[in-house]
Structure formats: C-alpha cells, structure tokens
Amino acid sequence: MWGIVGQRACRHGSSAMSLQGTRPVIHALRSFSTAAKEMTVRDALNSAIDEEMSADPKVFLMGEEVGEYQGAYKITKGLLEKYGPDRVLDTPITEAGFTGIGVGAAYHGLKPIVEFMTFNFSMQAIDHIINSAAKSNYMSAGQISVPIVFRGPNGAAAGVGAQHSQCYASWYASCPGLKVLAPYSSEDARGLMKAAIRDPDPVVFLENELLYGESFPVSAEVLDSSFCLPIGKAKIEREGKDVTITAFSKMVGYALKAAEILSKEGISAEVINLRSIRPLDRATINNSVRKTNRLVTVEEGFPQHGIGAEICASVVEDSFEYLDAAIERIAGADVPMPYAANLERLAVPQVEDIVRAAKRTCYRSSSLAATA
C-alpha cells in the first residue's frame, strides 16, 4: 500500500483508512520518488467503483451490459466476476423502469450506481431523476434521502448523430437537490467518483466517451483507496493573469491547448476545470476573474441557458466592476448534431474558437494588423 502523508477532506470517511503514522515518512518519500504512474480515465473510473464497492456492501451497480458484457465502454470490466450477480446487475433496455427501481432502492438505504449507456437515454428516466430523486429529501423534510449515483457518457462522441450527442449538464445542473459532477482527468475521475458514491445525495456524474481512453499522470495519493475530491470545488489547471477560461470535461483539454497557443502570443490564460457543475464553485471563478478581468466560458452543450450563461450571470452579479471586457461564450452550435464530419466539426467547439474568443477579450483580433 502506498504511504500517504496527507489526506484530502472527504465526507464520512468510515471507509477511509488513515495511513498516517503506520509507515515512516522516509518510506513515503521513497514512494514519491518513483516515476509518475499514468492511468486512463477508464481505469480510473473502474478502480474507483471497485474500491467503493469493496469498502461498502450497500453499493451496487445496475445498467445495460454492465455485467457479462463487461460494460458497453468497458468501464465496469471485471466487476461482475468480483462482486457477483447480486451486486452487478444487467438490466433490460428499460431506463424508466430500472432508474425508478434504483431510486426506490436508495430510498430504502442502499447505494445504487445506475449507468446510462449514454445520457441521451436518461431522458427516458428523467422523471425519476428529478421528481423521485432530486426532490425527495426536501419534500420529506429530511426523512427520505437518496444516496444514488447516475453515471455514463455525456455530450458528443464522434459521428454518432443528433440523438446520441447531446450534453445534459445544464439540464441537470438547473435542478436543486441534484449534485452534478464532470471529471476531466483520471485524478478527477477517481476522486469525484469516490466522492459521488460516498455522498448521501443524488449525484449526476457526467463522463465523456472520448476521454475514456486518455491517459493522465496520477500521483500516489490519487491511487490510494481513501483518495477523494471535494464536491463543489473547481481546480485551477493552469494559472494565468490575463484572461480566465472556464471549462469542464473534454473542453478542459481544449482550453489547456488554447492557453498554450495564447501564451506564445503573450496572453497568459488561467484555465479553470469546473469539476463540479452543481454546486458551481462561484468563488473560484469570481476570484479568478477579479484577478484577470476577462472571461471566456467553454462548454460542449447548446448555448442557450447553458453553463456559460450561468457563469456569466454569476460574474456580472458578483464581479461586474472587475470586468474589462464583455464575457465571451464558446459552446456547441445551436443546431441538432449533424452526422457529416465537416458539419460536426463546425458544431463542436474547437481550440481555435477558444483562442479567438480569448483574444477578443484582450481587444486583440486574430489578424496580424497591429493597433497602437
């Protein structure tokens, strides 16, 4: 087991094994000196779910092809073999039915992880997510809590067309009673999944199919089974001083690439990985904008009433005097997702869109013409 020196604060660490003091510090330092390990987001999610299922027998997994098929995207690979058919359940293709069953099980004290093969199919079950899960703790004055996680890939993939490409972040994030998380890196995936499973409230966990295969370095701390990330806290992925760029999920990678391009042109961009869409870390966002005075919001979903719209409102409400330029929104195109590759490329934000918007906030156009 890896030694860890510190431990992130997490809710109710009944399963959190403190390793402080069980190993000499020297051993921990030696562990840190080994080469950084890399882990795919897929493995990060798999290991997080595995560890939480191991730690808490009330946690179980339900969804289409999660068991024998090893998961449509192999996120739940090996879990049926390890935990058996009582805890890893293959469901028929009936989202409304099995989501309702999951919420009911959560009412009675179990901790379901319900998988949607993509969040597009969650629309068949949205009544249960909103009316049966999100609102129950409130309506029952605290009697009926719903410790459930709804997870699956969200947003665009590659060439899957209009009915399979929608981002549901803003739909779910507008609903009080839900928590909505969106990991980017493997560290995010592990830490946020563990936090979601341990959380006593319904959590919508928005993954991204195109990120599953991406590898990220993970520290020893991240690999520890007690690792957890706080819900409601964004992460500053890259510090900067000229413009703030907010993003979540796959767009964080794009924002980081944009920041790299901008830095070569003398613009220092601060990239915020939201991690948590609801609760939204307004403090981190506003503090950043108060520092940089400029903001570009980036999201994959439809622009109207999107995540960027809420962030804009928050900054205008709380940090208006600090803005030196109008806020820019980069979002998915305001059309159903087309299939043709060239049209799809126009419908999803690209790195150059983020660069262009950031420059506009700095009153720099993309052309080379210099103005005094």
Partner 1 sequence: MALSHLSSTRSNRFLRPLAAAAAAAAASSLCRPISTSTEPLVIETSIPFTPHKCEPPSRSVETNPQELLTFFRDMATMRRMEIAADSLYKAKLIRGFCHLYDGQEAVCVGMEASINKKDCIITAYRDHCTFLGRGGTLLEIFSELMGRQGGCSKGKGGSMHFYKKESGFYGGHGIVGAQVPLGCGLAFAQKYNKDENVTFALYGDGAANQGQLFEALNISALWDLPIILVCENNHYGMGTAEWRAAKSPSYYKRGDYVPGLKVDGMDVLAVKQACKFAKEHVLKNGPIILEMDTYRYHGHSMSDPGSTYRTRDEISGVRQERDPIERVRKLVLGHDLATEKELKDIEKEIRKEVDEAIAKAKESPMPEPSELFTNVYVKGFGTESFGADRKELRATLP
Q: Which is nearer to partner 1, 83 or 121 (CB)?
A: 121
Burial of 15 (0-12, 13-18, 19+ CB in 10 A): middle
Is the alpha carbon torsion for 159, 160, 166, 168 positive or negative? negative
DSSP 8-state symbol, 134: I
Q: Which is nearer to partner 1, 262 or 331 (CB)?
A: 331
CA angle 174, 311, 262 (to 5 degrees): 140
Q: Which is nearer to partner 1, 17 or 335 (CB)?
A: 335
Q: Which is nearer to partner 1, 214 or 353 (CB)?
A: 353
CB of 354 to partner 1, least distance (A): 8
CB of 163 to partner 1, least distance (A): 4
Buried b (16+ CB within 10 A) or exposed e, 203-223: bbbbbbbbbbebebebebbbb
CB of 145 to partner 1, least distance (A): 27
CB of 21 to partner 1, least distance (A): 47
Q: Which is nearer to partner 1, 95 or 187 (CB)?
A: 95
CA-to-CA distance for 215 and 309, rounded, in angstroms? 31
Give first-to-last CA distance, the chain, whole Å. 60
Binding site for partner 1 (CB under 8 A): 64-65, 68-70, 72, 90, 92-94, 96-97, 120-121, 123-124, 157-164, 303, 328-336, 338-343, 346-350, 353, 356-357, 360
361, 295 in Cβ contact below 8 A?
Answer: yes
Omega before residue 279 within 30° of 0, cis: yes
Residue of 14, 11, 125 whose CA lies nearest to 62: 125
Neighbours of 255 (CB within 10 A): 30
Q: Which is nearer to partner 1, 58 or 345 (CB)?
A: 345
CB of 347 to partner 1, least distance (A): 6
Inter-residue long-range contacts of 131-136, CB under 8 Å, 24+ positions, other chains counted: 132/100, 132/103, 132/104, 133/103, 133/106, 133/177, 133/178, 133/202, 134/175, 134/176, 134/177, 134/178, 134/202, 135/177, 136/107, 136/177
Residue of 177, 133, 176, 120 whose CA lies nearest to 301: 120
241, 267 in Cβ contact below 8 A?
Answer: no
CA-to-CA distance for 164 and 123, rounded, in angstroms? 11
345, 370 in Cβ contact below 8 A?
Answer: no
Residues labelled catalytic:
95, 164
CA-to-CA distance for 111 and 236, rounded, in angstroms? 31
